[in-house]
Amino acid sequence: MAEYTQAETGGTLQRPEGIRGIAADLSSDQRAFKNVSWGKAMMWIFLLSDTFVFGCFLLAYMTARMSTPVNWPNPSEVFALEIGGQELPLILIAIMTFILISSSGTMAMAVNFGYRRERGRTAALMLLTAVLGATFVGMQAFEWTKLISEGVRPWGNPWGAAQFGSSFFMITGFHGTHVTFGVIFLLIIARKVWRGDFDTERRGFFTSRKGNYEIVEIMGLYWHFVDLVWVFIFAFFYLW
Amino acid sequence: MAQAQAHSGQQHPVKLYLLAWGLLFVLSTFSYLVDYFGIQGYARWVLILLFMVLKAGLIVAVFMHMAWERLALVYAILLPPVLVLVFVAMMVSESNYTIFTRLTFSSVGL
């Protein structure tokens, strides 16, 4: 049936390369992106829309920061942590960054083992990814608690421009929500992989369709995107 | 059909992912060191943006397999966000105007 033609047409249909390939993909009455399955294409399009959402958040933050005459709090000091009697600038954010990057690494390997149909390894790596993601959210909760106890609110903070508070809670809050949903998504797919749903072609409880290992890659796209967004937040919010 | 799909999809050597992972660690450390050593001014901007773009590129190209996707999909996904830069330019101009009016007409800075 139609849903099984994915990922196979590319091998049989020889398509031109480069700009001619794009023209061939988008012209005539045919499906664009050829051997890219609808699931993967739709995840990419969702991620594109999410890119605009996060783009607008960072833009709003830039506009707020550039248009205020009041001093912007120094993120390096705000997010410093005292470890062993020594004040380390931005250390919590750095650790969170490393944890998220590591979770992306384990996810990429899970995708690889998924296509090799190594159920155990795939599920284990996805679980590890979920644990790292949950750790990230936990550290973010700690960061929020610390800042709230120091008097940071969406309408103000003790160190300067009030817009700092609203930008902080909006941007990190929206990103944390994405990570949380990602962890849930990871656990659902890891369970399906572990149970062997994609080997026995068990039908999904919601869609009644047979899944395949490509869902691990699609899940991975979402997870890497969360890491990708953090790269920009790290640069623009914490380092600027 | 399920049998035919067993070996399809994005498959690349695990070594490649480990290399990207390592590079991301190194680049993140560099970003952190920019702040740790307190580099300021244009040097800070250049370094931060350079490490950011390199990290984003590695994630999208290797982890998200963009390097091996069809060109039609690559352009459909990567070109639209570039247009956000037009929006950035507009908002820079707008915020410059806002701060100008605030400093000129308002005694209380907000």
CATH number where A62 lies = 1.20.120.80
Cα–Cα distance measured from residue B61 to residue B68, given in angstroms and rounded to the nearest whole number: 8
Domain-embedded: residue A22: no
> Would you say residue A197 lies in a domain?
yes
Question: Is there a contact between A231 and B10 if contact means CB atoms under 8 Å apart?
Answer: no
Closest CB from A18, A69, A116 relative to B103: A69
The pLDDT, as a whole number, for residue A2 is 37
**CB-CB: which of B52, B71, B103 is closest to A235?**
B52
- Give pLDDT, residue A87: 82
A4 domain-assigned? no
Q: Is residue B75 included in any domain, yes or no?
A: yes
Q: Return the residue in A98, A104, A199 with the most chain B beta carbons within 10 A, the one to mutate for interface testing.
A: A104
Beta-carbon separation of B7 and A115 below 8 A: yes
- Provide φ and ψ at A81, rounded to 5°: -135, 140
Percent over 70 (pLDDT), chain B: 89
Same domain as B62, residue B49: yes
pLDDT score for A13:
58
| A95 touches B: beta carbon within 8 Å | no
Domain that holds residue B82: 68-109
In a domain, A6, yes or no: no
Question: Is residue B62 included in any domain, yes or no?
Answer: yes
B22 and B59: one domain?
Answer: yes
Domain residue limits at A170: 37-239
- B50 with B79, same domain: the answer is no
| A146 falls within a domain | yes
Query: A227 at the B interface (CB within 8 A)?
Result: yes
For residues B77 and B52, state if they share a domain. Answer: no
Residue whose tokens read 């300067």: A160
Q: Can you tell me the mean pLDDT for A205-224?
A: 92
Number of structural domains found in chain A: 1
Minimal CA separation from A30 to chain B, in Å:
13
Residue type, position A106, single letter: T
Residue B50 inside a domain? The answer is yes
Whether B108 shows a pLDDT value over 90: the answer reads: no
- What pLDDT, in 10s, does the model give residues A106-160? 999 999 999 999 999 999 999 999 999 999 999 999 999 999 999 999 999 999 9
Do B57 and B23 lie in one domain? The reply is yes
Q: How many domains does chain B have?
A: 2
Which A residues in the span 180-199 are in contact with B, Cβ-Cβ below 8 Å?
Answer: none
- Residue A133, domain member (yes or no): yes
- The answer to the question of residue B5 being in a domain is no
**A220 occurs within a structural domain:** yes
Looking at per-residue pLDDT, the higher value among A91 and A1 belongs to A91
Is residue B1 domain-resident?
Answer: no
Inter-chain residue contact A228 with B35, CB threshold 8 Å: no
pLDDT tens per residue, range B11-62: 888 899 999 999 999 999 999 999 989 899 999 999 999 999 999 999 999 9
| B94 contact residues in A (CB cutoff 8 A) | 63, 67
pTM: 0.88
Interface contact B72-A232, CB threshold 8 A:
no
Find out whether A192 and A212 touch, Cβ atoms under 8 Å.
Answer: no
User: d(Cα B12, Cα A220) in Å, to the nearest integer?
Assistant: 14
- State percent of chain A over pLDDT 70: 92
Residue B98 region, left (φ>0) first, then alpha (ψ -120 to 50), else beta? alpha
